[in-house]
Amino acid sequence: MDDGGDAELEAWVENQETFEPPAEFVDGANVSDPDIYDAFEENWPDCWERAAELLEWDRRWEAVLDESDAPRYRWFVDGQLNAAYNCIDRHVEAGRKNHAALRWVGKRGETETYTYGDLQRETEAFAAALRELGVGEDDVVTLYLPMIPELPVAMLACARIGAPHSVVFAGFSADALATRMDNADSEYLVTCDGYYRRGDALNHKGKADRAVRRLDHDAETVVVDRLGGGLPHSLSDDQHDYDTLVEDHRNAEVEPVARDSEDDLFVMYTSGTTGEPKAVRHTTGGYLSHVAWTSHAVLDIKPSDTYWCSADIGWITGHSYIVYGPLALGATTVMYEGTPDYPEKDRIWELVERYDVDVFYTAPTAVRAFMKWGTGHPDEHDLSSLRLLGTVGEPINPRAWKWYYDNIGGGDCPVVDTWWQAETGGMMVTTLPAISTMKPGSAGPPLPGIDAKVVDAEGEEVEPGEAGYLVVEKPWPGMLRGLAGEDDRFVPEYWSTYSEPEEGEWVYFAGDGAKLDEDGYITLLGRVDDVISVGDHRIGTMEVESAIVGVEGVAEAAVIGTTGELIAYVSTERESAGDADLRRAIVAGLEDAIGEVAVPDHVVFTPELPKTRSGKIMRRLLEDIATGAELGDISALRNPEIVGELRARLAGETRSYLEPED
C-alpha cells in the first residue's frame, strides 16, 4: 500500500468502533459457520466431542462428562491417549516426518529446526534416558530451563512415559525452585549450565544446585550444556549430561504410554510472584482436547502454518500455545529465546519476515512497547505473510488494539483478544475470527460451549454496561482438576455455589471483574482485588489505566493506591515528553472517562515499568517503591535497573518527572 493508502487506512481505523473479518480470511478459515454457537449450546456437553476428535485415542471415552462429584468433574471418561503421540508420532505416521515442527532462534542469533522426525527421535532418546534414571509413571519431573529446544523435548519425553512435568520459569530464584520441587515431591530435575541475557552468559546451574541442596529429599539432575565453553561447569555423581544421555539412547524406541484421560499431564505453578504458589493440575484428555480445539478454532492454525506465540514456556500460555496446541495440529511452531528489542527493536518483525509467520500471538504489554518504539521498525519488513493476530495475558486497550491491527496486520488480519487463565488451561472468552465482529477493548463473547457470565455478589446477572464478577457456570474440558499437594484448597479457592452445595450448582469464580455489553461481549476490568480505595471510593485499576493509555503520547500505565493517595506510573511513547502538558492531558482524559475521583495525586513519568520476564507489570513492586517498603526478591524482573530510577523520581530527586497535583 502506498503512503496515501496508509494514511487513509490509519484514519479509518482510528474512527472505527467495530471491525468485520476480511472476506478472504473467512473463505479459508477453519471455523466459519455462525451456527456453531447454537450447535454447542443445544448439544452440550456432547458438543465437546468435536474437540476430542481432533486427537487420536487409544481407547474412546465412555462418556463425555461425569458430573457426579461436582465440582471435581471428569472429562472423556475412561478414554485413553498419549499427548506425545498426538503431538509427534501420528504426524510422522501420516508421512510428515520431514515437515518442520519447531523452529528455534537463540539469543545470539543461533537457529535450529526440528522436523517431526527429528522431534520423535530426540524425544524417544530422552524418554529412554529418563526411564533409565528411574522415572516412572506419575513421577513428577521438574524442568528448570530457559527457552531452548530441550525444554519442549523434555516435556514431550515426560508425556511419552506418563510422567507429569512441572516447568519452573527460568527467571525464578533457587528458593522458588526448591519450594516447587518440595511441593510436588519431585525427585528429578532437568536444568542447564546457563543462558545469555543481552549477550552476557549467566550461571543457571548454580541456582539449580542451591535449590537441590535445600530440598527435603534427594534429586537426580540432568544438565543441558547451553553455553559450551562460555561457562565451564562440572557434574557431581547425581548429575548427568543431557547430550551424553541422549547420545547413549540415540536409537531407542519408547512406546507411548496410554494414559487415562484424567491422568495428570503436568502441574503448573501460578501466582508465585504475588502470593503463595498453587500447583494447578491439568489432565491429559480434557486439556489436550481444549488446547487443540482453541488452536484450531480461535488461532485458525493449519498444519501448513508457521505459527509464533511470543510467550515463555515457563507460563501456561507457552504450554498451551507454543507446545501442545500447535504440535497437536501438526503445525510449525516458532520458539524464540530472546527479547523483542535485542539486538534491535525490529527483531520480531525481522523474524516474522524470515520465517513467513502466518499467525502471531503476543501480549498487550508487547504491543504497547511496539507502539512506543514507533512504526518505523515494522515498516522496514514485509509482514504480508501474517493472516491472524492475537493477544493474551491482560486486556488490551482500544488504542493499542487499533495500532496492532493497522500497523502489524495492515487492516487485513483479524485480531483475537483472548481471556483465559492458568486454571482454565485454554481460551475461554474471545471472538471466533471468521465469525465475530471485533470490538477493540472487548475480548468478545464466550467461546462456543463456554458458559461465562458477569454476575453481582448474589450471583445475579448484571445489566449491560454494569460491572460485576466473571464466572463460568458450566465445566469445560481444559479446566484444572485440583491443586497438587494441597487439594483441600481446590474447592474454596475457585468454586462457589449460590444454592445448596448438594444441588451441584457450582460456578467457577475467575477472580476478574468484567462488564457485559448489549451484544454479549465481555470487557475485562482486571482482578477484583486490583481495586484502589481513595476516600470513600473504590476504583478498579484496569479502568483507570485504560483511560490513561487512551491519551495520545502514553504507551503504558500502572496505577497503585497508598494511604488514600493515587499514584500513576506512566511510560510515554518514544516521541512524547513526560511533561506538564501530558499530565494535564491525562487528568482531562480521566475526568472525562471516569470522573475527578480517578485523577491521580502524582503522575510519575518513566521510560519503562518494572516487568517480569514474561512481560507482566509488577504492581506489587510499584506499591513497595511508593511506600518505601523492602523490595525483596526482584529476580523475576526483566529490567531490575528501573527500580532505583523510579524510587528517585518518586522521591522528587528528578523533579521534572514528577508533577504534583495543582
What would the pLDDT profile of 42-88 be if each residue is shown by its tens digit?
Answer: 999 999 999 999 999 999 999 999 999 999 999 999 999 999 999 99
Q: What is the mean pLDDT of the chain?
A: 89
Task: Please give the helix or strand (H or E) that residue 190 lies within, else none.
Answer: strand 188-192
Q: How far is the C-alpha of 506 from the C-alpha of 73, rounded, in Å?
A: 11
- As a whole-number percent, the residues of the chain with pLDDT over 70 amount to 90
| pLDDT at 176 > cutoff 90 | no
At 173, is the pLDDT very low, low, confident or very high (cuts 50, 70, 90)? Answer: confident
**pLDDT score for 612:** 72
Do the domains 83-257 and 530-660 sit in the same CATH topology, yes or no?
no
Sign, CA torsion 641/401/393/86? negative
**Distances in Å between the alpha carbon of 181 and those of 143, 154, 416, 480, 552?**
10, 17, 36, 20, 46
Dihedral angle at the C-alpha atoms of 236, 237, 240, 241, nearest 10 degrees? 50
- Range 11-18 average pLDDT: 76
- Range 4-27 average pLDDT: 80
Q: Model's pTM, two decimal places? A: 0.84
What residues does 391 pair with on adjacent strands? 362, 417
Q: How far is the C-alpha of 354 from the C-alpha of 345, rounded, in Å?
A: 16
What fold, for 83-257?
Rossmann fold (3.40.50)
- Range 30-52 average pLDDT: 97
CATH architecture type of domain 3-58+292-524: 3-Layer(aba) Sandwich (3.40)
Give domain limits for the chain: 3-58+292-524, 83-257, 530-660
Chain segment 562-587, per-residue pLDDT in tens: 766 788 999 888 766 788 889 999 99
Chain segment 408-459, per-residue pLDDT in tens: 999 999 999 999 999 999 999 999 999 999 999 999 999 999 999 999 888 8
What residues does 571 pair with on adjacent strands? 556, 606
With b meaning 16 or more CB within 10 Å and e meaning fewer, what string describes 412-445? ebbbbbbbbbbbbbbbbbbbbbbbbebbbbbbbb
Pair 525, 515: CB distance under 8 Å: yes
At 1, is the pLDDT very low, low, confident or very high (cuts 50, 70, 90)? Answer: very low
Q: How far is the C-alpha of 556 from the C-alpha of 610, rounded, in Å?
A: 11
Q: How far is the C-alpha of 209 from the C-alpha of 213, rounded, in Å?
A: 6
At 149, is the pLDDT very low, low, confident or very high (cuts 50, 70, 90)? Answer: very high
**pLDDT score for 466:** 87
Q: How far is the C-alpha of 305 from the C-alpha of 253, rounded, in Å?
A: 29
- As a whole-number percent, the residues of the chain with pLDDT over 90 amount to 63
CATH number 3.30.300.30 given to 530-660: yes
| pLDDT at 324 > cutoff 60 | yes
The total of other beta-carbon atoms located within 10 Å of residue 354's CB is 14
* Residue keyed to cell 539486538: 343
**Distances in Å between the alpha carbon of 362 and those of 348, 370, 415, 416?**
11, 11, 11, 10
**Distances in Å between the alpha carbon of 70 and those of 66, 100, 279, 449?**
8, 42, 20, 18
Chain segment 184-227, per-residue pLDDT in tens: 999 999 999 998 876 678 899 999 999 999 998 999 999 999 99
* N- to C-terminal Cα separation, the chain: 46
| pLDDT at 537 > cutoff 60 | no
List the 306-309 sheet strands across, edge first. 111-115, 100-105, 332-336, 306-309, 359-362, 388-391, 415-417
With b meaning 16 or more CB within 10 Å and e meaning fewer, what string describes 579-605? eeebbebbbebbeeebeeebbbebbbb
| pLDDT at 274 > cutoff 50 | no
With b meaning 16 or more CB within 10 Å and e meaning fewer, what string describes 169-190? bbbbebebbbbbbebbebbbbb
| pLDDT at 644 > cutoff 90 | no
List the 602-606 sheet strands across, edge first. 554-562, 565-572, 602-606, 658-660
Helix axes 116-132, 150-161, angle to 10 degrees: 60
Chain segment 383-415, per-residue pLDDT in tens: 999 999 999 988 888 999 999 999 999 999 999
| pLDDT at 659 > cutoff 50 | no
